[in-house]
Amino acid sequence: MARIFVITDRRSEWKALVSGAYSISGEKPLVVTADKAIAQAAADFGADAALMSGAEVFWNYTDTIAALVEELQPAGCFFGTSPDCRLVSGRLAAKLGISAIPDAKSIDNTYAIEHLIYGGSVVQTSKSTGKQFVALFGPGQFEEAAIPEQGTVMNVDYVEPKWQIAVKEKKTKEISAVDLTAAKRIVAVGLGISKKEDLDMVRELAALLQAEMACTRPIAEGLDWMEPERYIGISANFVKPDLYISLGISGQVQHTVGITDSKVILSVNKDPDCAMMKQYSDYCVAEDLYKIVPALIERLKK
């Protein structure tokens, strides 16, 4: 079987993608990256690495990656889900004359890919009609397992694209160190929380439980009360903790597709008929979270 390319610009996700690619094809994957640290770490993890350089932004590497695909003829390309990966995967797929498959959940050894469609409410299985496939896997889709070999790093010639994207301005952004996909306990909040300051009591509860804090998308994108790395669902993280506590979350499918691998789900919601309570929870508390969270904190402190 041909090897799979793993294309990513995020230090948090390449190991899982490499492990998944190796388990499917049985061949050492090739990590294609512009990050020297990722390339070296990938070789130590057992994969080979192709180190690109010369472009100011990751987006401008599409032609370089396409040339590598043409030369090495991989079975396909696993992409991560960063904004850059989404953009480059689409451009690469267009160059290969196929479709990029976003929101991929799993892949078998015939390269049939299960992926979410209709906002996460339906799982569809698709196969590429071209020589390669291009699929985007979010965090948490594969277990990390090192390959018992040492890989090599090769340098790749930059292929200058006809249309380059130029950087006009750069703003630094704080990167959150949280890795929800590895968390054993998660306390997640939704729009049932009415003020940003009220997150402090949830933070206290999470600390007492030694849990990570997480949220639904509107809390992170829209209200901007928590970092985007902390929201769960189709557009972000898929988690699999032993305990997932949901506080004021209604259970819309775009969120719940990311929590179904949790071992135990406990929900607190004023509405006993919401989907989170009726369809997804092992334990339900039909109450105001503003009563339950302080009571839990008090009990845990004792």
* Nearer of residues 33 and 216 to ligand FAD, judged by Cβ: 216
Q: Please give the Cα distance from 98 to 131 (Å, whole number).
A: 9
285 binds ligand FAD (CB under 6 A): no
Kindly tell me which residue out of 90, 270, 278, 297 binds ligand FAD, with binding defined by CB under 6 A.
270
Q: Please give the Cα distance from 172 to 302 (Å, whole number).
A: 43
Closest distance of CB 196 from ligand FAD, Å: 14
101 binds ligand FAD (CB under 6 A): no
Which residue is it, tokens 């889900």? 81
Of the candidate spans 84-92, 148-156, 161-169, 286-294, the one that interacts with ligand FAD by CB under 6 A turns out to be 286-294
Q: Please give the Cα distance from 146 to 139 (Å, whole number).
A: 17
Kindly tell me which residue out of 236, 259, 265, 296 binds ligand FAD, with binding defined by CB under 6 A.
236
* Nearer of residues 235 and 281 to ligand FAD, judged by Cβ: 235
Compose the 247-266 pattern: x for residues touching ligand FAD by CB under 6 A, - for all others.
Answer: -xxx-x-xx-----------
Tokens of 172: 């630094």
Query: Beta-strand (E) ranges in the chain?
Result: 4-7, 30-33, 48-52, 76-79, 100-107, 113-117, 122-126, 133-137, 153-156, 185-189, 212-215, 243-247, 264-268, 283-285
Listed in sequence order, the DSSP H helices in the chain are 14-25, 36-45, 62-72, 83-96, 199-208, 217-220, 253-256, 275, 289-301
Q: How many angstroms separate the Cα of 201 from the Cα of each of 36, 79, 187, 291, 297?
A: 41, 38, 11, 11, 8
Residues in region 158-187 near ligand FAD by CB under 6 A: none
Q: Please give the Cα distance from 89 to 82 (Å, whole number).
A: 10
Closest distance of CB 235 from ligand FAD, Å: 4
Q: Please give the Cα distance from 250 to 200 (Å, whole number).
A: 21
Closest distance of CB 250 from ligand FAD, Å: 3
Kindly tell me which residue out of 192, 211, 213, 240 binds ligand FAD, with binding defined by CB under 6 A.
192
Q: How many angstroms separate the Cα of 211 from the Cα of each of 69, 71, 111, 215?
A: 42, 47, 36, 13
230 binds ligand FAD (CB under 6 A): no
284 binds ligand FAD (CB under 6 A): no
* Nearer of residues 22 and 280 to ligand FAD, judged by Cβ: 280
Closest distance of CB 276 from ligand FAD, Å: 7
231 binds ligand FAD (CB under 6 A): yes
Kindly tell me which residue out of 20, 29, 80, 233 binds ligand FAD, with binding defined by CB under 6 A.
233
Kindly tell me which residue out of 8, 12, 216, 281 binds ligand FAD, with binding defined by CB under 6 A.
216
Compose the 118-157 pattern: x for residues touching ligand FAD by CB under 6 A, - for all others.
Answer: -x--------------------------------------
Q: Indicate left, alpha or beta for 120 from its phi (over 0: left) and psi (-120 to 50: alpha).
A: left
Q: Please give the Cα distance from 247 to 190 (Å, whole number).
A: 6
Residue type, 62: T
- For ligand FAD, the binding residues (CB under 6 A) are 119, 190-192, 216-218, 231-236, 248-250, 252, 254-255, 268-271, 274, 288-290
